[in-house]
Amino acid sequence: MAGGAPRKIPVVFYRTRSGSEVIRDWLRGLKEGDRGAIGQDLMRVQ
């Protein structure tokens, strides 16, 4: 993008009809180091 800060793209997690966010729940179950690595990747994608 010319002349400005890049736009931030929001990360949206899939939600089932019942409202559960299975990917977010899976991420929370990971070891802290793995969660951190994936969190960094998500920030890069944004």
pLDDT tens track for 11-27: 888 999 999 999 999 99
pLDDT of residue 3 exceeding 80, the answer is no
- Report d(CA 4, CA 22) in Å as an integer: 36
Mean pLDDT, rounded, of the chain: 88
- Asked whether the beta carbons of 14 and 23 are under 8 A apart, the reply is yes
pTM of the shown model? 0.64
Number of domains in the chain: 1
- Asked whether the beta carbons of 43 and 6 are under 8 A apart, the reply is no
| Three-class SS state of 18 | coil
Max Cα–Cα distance, the chain, nearest Å: 43
- Report d(CA 10, CA 17) in Å as an integer: 21
Domain that holds residue 40: 1-46
**For position 42, what pLDDT does the model report?**
86
